[in-house]
Amino acid sequence: MPVPAPNLYPDFNTVRLSHVAYRVTDLARSRAFYVDTLGLQVTGETADTLYLRAMEERGHHCVALHQAPEAGVEALGFKVWHEDDLDRAHGWFSARGRPVDWVDRPHQGRTLRTSDLFGVPLEFYARMDRLPPIHQQYKLYHGVKPLRIDHFNTFSPDVDASVAFWTDMGFRTTEYTEDEDTGQLWAAWMHRKGGVHDMAFTNGLGPRLHHTAFWVPTPLNIIDLLDLMATTGWVANIERGPGRHGISNAFFLYIRDPDGHRIEIYCSDYQTCDPDLEPIKWDLKDPQRQTLWGAPAPRSWFEEGSHFIGLTPAESRLKASPIIAP
Binding-site ranges for Fe ion (CB under 5 A): 153, 213, 264
Q: Which residues lie below 8 Å from residue 18, measured CB to CB, with a gap of 6+?
A: 59, 62, 77, 78, 79, 125, 128, 149
Q: In whole angstroms, what is the distance from residue 100 CA to residue 235 CA?
A: 42
Q: In whole angstroms, what is the distance from residue 312 CA to residue 114 CA?
A: 16
Query: Which CB sits closer to Fe ion, 33 or 266?
Result: 266
CB of 237 to Fe ion, least distance (A): 17
Query: Which CB sits closer to Fe ion, 110 or 244?
Result: 244
CB of 85 to Fe ion, least distance (A): 26
Query: Which CB sits closer to Fe ion, 265 or 284?
Result: 265
Buried b (16+ CB within 10 A) or exposed e, 51-88: bbbbbebebbbbbbbbbbeebbbbbbbbbbeeeebbee
Query: Which CB sits closer to Fe ion, 108 or 177?
Result: 177
Phi and psi dihedrals of 88, rounded to 5? -65, -35
CB of 280 to Fe ion, least distance (A): 15
Q: In whole angstroms, what is the distance from residue 194 CA to residue 290 CA?
A: 21
Query: Which CB sits closer to Fe ion, 93 or 301?
Result: 301
CB of 231 to Fe ion, least distance (A): 26
CB of 209 to Fe ion, least distance (A): 11
Contact present, 65 and 30 (Cβ < 8 Å): yes
Q: In whole angstroms, what is the distance from residue 282 CA to residue 68 CA?
A: 40
Q: Which residues pair with 172 in a beta bridge?
A: 191
Q: Which residues lie below 8 Å from residue 25, measured CB to CB, with a gap of 6+?
A: 67, 68, 69, 70, 71, 258, 259
CB of 151 to Fe ion, least distance (A): 6
Query: Which CB sits closer to Fe ion, 17 or 229?
Result: 17
H or E element that contains 165 = helix 159-168
CA distances from 268 to 133, 208, 317 (A): 22, 26, 33
Query: Which CB sits closer to Fe ion, 153 or 174?
Result: 153
CB of 189 to Fe ion, least distance (A): 8
Q: In whole angstroms, what is the distance from residue 151 CA to residue 215 CA?
A: 9
